[in-house]
């Protein structure tokens, strides 16, 4: 038996012996995930994962912008091949490894991913050539993923060399090669930023209503590295975005924003920031807009280690019902193990401000347009606080993505209210 096959069987045995996520698991008690069988599929799903991807499916990488790109090494690797599997998984934490010194209650997702993963993309971005003014150029990349099969476990590993500045747009178009059937997707993303590297990362996820999705992102940031990341996601039958930001080097910065639009099903954002060195900074903002009978959970946790002097933490969670009777759960957490820090957190829940709608109506706007402008303004302001500089938002194309997401959500809420 080759090593790749042995690794897959070992992962399945681990799930059989240790079981799936317990219903009383702290991070999942408000929204338990579907059972393990949903994430592993059957023999037909495994065969589909092993088959070559149709053109345009899986990961597609494209540069964008007018500036010349720096050295980008992209390798699409076959996890069923022992040699390529070893390269694909090199340096990644083992499933079940402790998270910031504590047991990982999402470890079964990692084991399920290891059991089903068949392909992955490793991106390594080196230093860019010096510009005419002597400064480094920005590497701008667009990364698109289209599901290869009805049940899949894709993998992305992104390494930035010291001093590199990368702008990345990651989009997920949830269609399968077999048509428009719902999908089950257990995605793992690992990002490693070397000293002084900067990644500005926008993620857009627009699934079908019946999709079940779990996206896991694990960041490790060295001294002086900077990570600015935002997720724009529409709801589906089940959707989990679970991010772990490890600020390992002094002065590392992690900024994260989440905009969740739920008009059906369940959607959750879990984010944990580990301040492991002095002078580290994190800022987390989440906004959930939900309608109908949708359920949305915002779960943020920051831990400041005993040696992380002068750490700075900010959390802000907000939920807005836009129609119907949705369920919104907001959970900010701080664990502070050092006296010399700055930390703030808060959670707010409430309807759209009637006063602002009234003033917009006084200027000749109908209520539908007024609500759209107010919601879009709130979401734009959140992204502006996450990313440093308006230029990067224009480069990322955030305005168009937000406009489409807001319009789709409010239209669904209005149609449900009329029905």
- Residue 51's pLDDT band (cuts 50, 70, 90): low
Choose from 26-35, 362-371, 398-407 the range with maximum mean pLDDT: 26-35
Distance of CA 290 to the CA centre of its chain: 19
Q: What pLDDT was estimated at residue 135? A: 54
- Residue 164's pLDDT band (cuts 50, 70, 90): very high
For the chain, domain boundaries: 3-352
User: According to DSSP H, which parts of 27-136 are helical?
Assistant: 36-40, 43-50, 82-89, 107-116
Beta-bridged to residue 99, according to DSSP, are 102
Q: What pLDDT was estimated at residue 3? A: 83
Q: What pLDDT was estimated at residue 137? A: 72
- What residues have CB less than 8 Å from 179, skipping those under 6 apart? none
- Encoded tokens for 173: 């178009």
- Residue 178's pLDDT band (cuts 50, 70, 90): very low
Alpha carbon separation from 24 to 28, 34, 243, 297, 413 (Å, rounded) = 7, 14, 20, 16, 32
% of residues, the chain, pLDDT over 90: 63
Alpha carbon separation from 165 to 17, 161, 169, 279, 313 (Å, rounded) = 44, 9, 14, 21, 24
Q: Please give the Cα distance from 14 to 24 (Å, whole number).
A: 20
Taking 90 as the threshold, does the pLDDT of residue 388 lie above it? no
Q: Please give the Cα distance from 264 to 279 (Å, whole number).
A: 41
Q: Please give the Cα distance from 352 to 365 (Å, whole number).
A: 16
Q: What pLDDT was estimated at residue 193? A: 98
Whole-model pTM: value is 0.92
Choose between 182 and 365: higher pLDDT.
Answer: 182
């Amino acid at each position: 038996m080759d090593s790749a096959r042995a690794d897959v069987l070992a992962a399945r045995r681990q799930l059989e012996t240790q079981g799936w996520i317990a219903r009383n698991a702290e991070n999942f008690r408000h929204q338990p995930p579907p059972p393990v069988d949903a994430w592993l599929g059957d023999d037909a799903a495994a065969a589909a994962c092993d088959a070559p991807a149709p053109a345009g499916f899986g990961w597609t990488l494209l540069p964008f912008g007018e500036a010349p790109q720096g050295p980008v090494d992209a390798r699409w690797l076959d996890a069923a091949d022992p040699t390529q599997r070893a390269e694909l998984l090199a340096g990644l934490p083992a499933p079940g490894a402790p998270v910031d010194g504590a047991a990982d209650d999402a470890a079964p997702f990692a084991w399920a991913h290891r059991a089903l993963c068949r392909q992955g993309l490793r991106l390594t971005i080196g230093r860019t050539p010096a510009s005419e003014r002597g400064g480094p150029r920005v590497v701008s990349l667009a990364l698109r993923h289209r599901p290869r099969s009805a049940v899949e476990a894709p993998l992305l590993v992104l390494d930035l060399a010291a001093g590199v500045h990368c702008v990345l747009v990651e989009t997920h178009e949830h269609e399968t090669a077999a048509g428009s059937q719902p999908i089950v997707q257990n995605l793992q993303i690992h990002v490693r930023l070397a000293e002084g590297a900067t990644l500005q990362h926008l993620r857009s996820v627009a699934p079908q209503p019946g999709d079940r999705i779990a996206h896991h992102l694990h960041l490790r940031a060295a001294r002086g590295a900077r990570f600015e990341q935002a997720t724009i996601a529409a709801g589906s039958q089940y959707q989990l975005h679970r991010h772990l930001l490890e600020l390992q080097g002094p002065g590392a910065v992690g900024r994260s924003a989440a905009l969740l639009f739920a008009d059906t099903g369940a959607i959750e954002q879990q984010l944990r920031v580990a301040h492991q060195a002095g002078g580290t900074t994190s800022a987390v903002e989440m906004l959930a807009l939900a309608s109908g009978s949708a359920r949305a959970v915002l779960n943020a946790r920051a831990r400041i280690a005993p040696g992380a002097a002068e750490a700075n933490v900010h959390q802000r969670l907000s939920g807005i019902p836009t129609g119907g009777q949705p369920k919104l759960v907001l959970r900010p957490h701080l664990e502070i193990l050092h006296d010399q820090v700055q930390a703030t957190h808060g959670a707010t829940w409430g309807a759209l401000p009637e006063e602002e709608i009234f003033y917009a109506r006084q200027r000749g706007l109908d209520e539908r347009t007024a609500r759209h402008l107010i919601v879009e303004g709130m979401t734009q302001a959140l992204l502006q606080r996450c990313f440093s500089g308006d230029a990067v938002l224009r480069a990322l194309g955030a305005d168009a993505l937000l406009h489409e997401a807001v319009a789709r959500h409010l239209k669904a809420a209005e149609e449900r209210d009329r029905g």
